[in-house]
Amino acid sequence: MSSESLPQYSISELNASIGKLLERGFAPRFLLQGTVSSPQLKKGHLWLTLSDGESSIGAVVWSSQLRKLHFQPSDGDGVIVVGKLNFWQARATLSIHVLDIRPTLSTVFRQFELVKALLIKEGLIQDSRRRALPQYPRAIAILTSVPSSALADMLRTAKECWPLTRLIIIPIPVQGPVVKAIKAALNNLAIHYQELFVEAVVIARGGGNREDLIVFDEEELCRELAHFPIPVVTGIGHEDDLTVSDLVADYRAATPTAAIVSLLPNLESVRFQLLQKTQKLDDQCSILINNAHRKLFELKSILEKYTPLRLVQIQKELLDQKIQLLKALSPDFWFKRGFAILKNDKGETIRTIDQVKLSEPLAIAIVDGEITVVAEKIKRFGAES
């Protein structure tokens, strides 16, 4: 083959042709899954290598795009990249221009397990640390994205359940590298919660992929929640989603709406309880009043029984009884009935014939006087002397 029959290129032309072939051979955007290695920030741009264990390719996230990403990978993280080919004609080098990057589930669960194990070791995840939630909170702080459907549901539910509690909405970003922003909001609340009468805080985020919740597995944020001065309730994602923030919180709710329900009393339930307590109070008052009436009646009876007039009457009756008894036992009573008293000359009452001697003078006392006699004969029943 002669050299005259071969096409001839300059370096620039060759590289340009390669670039055109690559542009025609690949979609403008595609998904690429791999593991990140050696990520480096240079002049605001993120340079990294993507590998599948057998092959690798360089990638770059330009600074303008990096600010928009929700996730910034670390070395060893599994990721799914939305990208396009980036071919530099001047050096004939190929890399991936990253438009978006998200962690894989394996990366999410790896971070979850690492942070969880660390905080368990430090004693920050244990049931004994969980504080009781306030029964009737005066105010609750809600940290969530504004506006959002999760917030709208929480506000509607709070109004229906217990409108007496004041809700303080603190807007926060809930996705991406936003730990500093959430920590700043929590630190500010920790300084002012007492003057705002806030008795509990809710960290809420609506549903999404588990990968979108990786911020709530961040060690710094979880430590902040574990040491927060008032009870923390989480309502993050769906019922099946579990983050490290849920584990360090005082109460984990399945959803944002369930989080606000856990903190507020139910209006109808409280109304029913109040009716029950009112009825119980009425019953107890009735019992107390009836007991008081009965006691007053008893006291009235006792008082009537022991009034001065009644006491005088009782004493008079007792005195009359004693007078009657005295009359019944007095000698005059017996004298009037014909009885007499026999005495010797010494004035001793004669009770038996053994006290009497023949020819001894005796005195007989009767109702109207005394008769002196002499014992001429003494007769014992059954004998005579």
Say if residues 47 and 93 touch (Cβ distance below 8 Å).
no
Query: Given 3.40.50.261, 3.30.750.24, 1.10.357.10, 3.30.420.40, which CATH number is that of 109-265?
Result: 3.40.50.261
3 state SS of 19 = helix
For the residues 251-260, what does the mean pLDDT come to? 95
Residue 196 has pLDDT above 80, yes or no: yes
Render 251-283 in DSSP notation, one character per residue: EEESSHHHHHHHHS--HHHHHHHHHHHHHHHHH
Residue 200 has pLDDT above 90, yes or no: yes
Taking each helix axis as running N to C, give the angle between helix 149-161 and helix 256-263, from 0 to 180 degrees, rounded to the nearest 10: 30
Q: Report the pLDDT value the prediction gives residue 156, as an integer from 0 to 100.
A: 95
Q: Which of 89-93, 275-279, 355-359, 377-381 has the highest mean pLDDT?
A: 275-279
Q: Report the pLDDT value the prediction gives residue 47, as an integer from 0 to 100.
A: 94
pLDDT-derived band of residue 243, with 50, 70 and 90 as boundaries?
A: very high
**Extents of the domains making up the chain:** 3-103, 109-265, 340-374
Q: Return mean pLDDT, the chain.
A: 88
Residues 6+ apart with CB under 8 A from 244: 112, 115, 116, 119, 125, 216, 217, 218, 219, 222
Distance, first Cα to last Cα, the chain: 198
Cα angle: 86, vertex 92, 95; to 5 degrees: 30
Which is more confident, 68 or 126? 126
pLDDT-derived band of residue 258, with 50, 70 and 90 as boundaries?
A: very high
Q: Which fold has domain 3-103?
A: OB fold (Dihydrolipoamide Acetyltransferase, E2P) (2.40.50)
pLDDT tens for residues 139-173? 999 999 999 999 999 999 999 999 999 999 999 99
Say if residues 37 and 59 touch (Cβ distance below 8 Å).
no
Q: Report the pLDDT value the prediction gives residue 210, as an integer from 0 to 100.
A: 87
